[in-house]
Amino acid sequence: MTQMNDYSYIGENLKRIRDRLSEAEAKTGSRPKLMAVTKTVPAQAVNEAVRLGVDLLGENRVQEYLSKCDDYDKSAKVHIIGHLQTNKVKYIINNVSMIQSVDSIKLASEINRLAKNHGTAMDILCEVNIGGEASKSGVSPDDLIPLLTEIAQLENVRVKGLMTIPPPSDSDIFLGRMEELFHSISQRNIPGIAMQELSMGMTNDYYQAALHGSTLVRIGTGLFGARDYSH
């Protein structure tokens, strides 16, 4: 088994990230939560990040999460951040505290059905394809309010905000558009919809995202190093 001290670089990376977020906080007066994105990262490395105070994990793939979750430090909360198929919801409905990647009424309805069956309610974010990229999931900005209005009718789903992955080129422009969209919807006061979380910013743009009002940044490579996608 890999020893904890093999992961000392995580502490160094974490300090660098926290320092950068502190710089953003000095400019904005607010600080986003830090999520550790765990795709392809071994459980021991994830647990080292948790030991160092990271209390929120982001999972992209249900199957990978299920293969590692028993080994995770249970003091950290887990969010699903990757594209989620409706037939996979049943595997995570009792194990995660939020699903950030909801982009259709079909998916929201299945989450609602299973949450009701389990006597619970699931917090979700609506994923917005702010750059209109064909390669990415997410609802278009123009379709967002109709989707939110539909989801608001579901009793066992609670919309807590929005999530996005902006195009890597012109990221700053799209982060600004997302900030405007978030505030615009907040001001509408749609019944049953809370705009508490704006999840945007990853390794390459988390500082800019923090400046644009992100409440949660999702960092994998910047924390754990370059990842191996061969498996």
- With beta carbons less than 8 A apart as the criterion, state whether 202 and 167 touch: no
What does the pLDDT read at residue 4?
Answer: 44
- Please indicate, yes or no, whether the overall pTM of this predicted structure exceeds 0.85: yes
Nearest-CA neighbor of 157 among 198, 218, 215, 107?
A: 107
Cα-based distances in Å from 97 to 74, 80, 221: 12, 8, 23
Q: What was the pLDDT predicted at 2?
A: 41
Please give the CATH number for the structural domain made up of 9-220. 3.20.20.10
CB 204 within 8 A of CB 219: no
Nearest to 81 by CA among 97, 66, 67: 97
Could you tell me which residues come within 8 angstroms of residue 129 by beta carbon, excluding any fewer than 6 positions away?
103, 136, 137, 138, 139, 140, 164
User: Both tokens of residue 200?
Assistant: 């945007």
Q: What pLDDT, on a 0 to 100 scale, did the predictor assign at position 170?
A: 87
Q: Using CA atoms, how far apart are residues 217 and 185, in angstroms rounded to an integer?
A: 20
Q: What are phi and psi of 102, to 5 degrees?
A: -85, 125
- The domain limits of the chain are 9-220
Burial, 71: exposed, middle or buried (Cβ in 10 Å; 0-12, 13-18, 19+)?
A: exposed
Among the listed residues 224, 208, 206, 225, the one whose alpha carbon sits nearest the alpha carbon of residue 216 = 206
Mean pLDDT by 10 residues, the chain (231 residues): 68 98 98 97 97 98 97 97 97 97 98 97 98 94 97 98 93 96 96 96 97 98 79 43
Residue 32 CA to residue 21 CA, distance in Å, equals 8
Q: How does pLDDT run across 142-179, given as a tens digit for each residue? A: 999 999 999 999 999 999 999 999 998 888 999 999 99
Q: Identify the pLDDT of residue 190.
A: 93
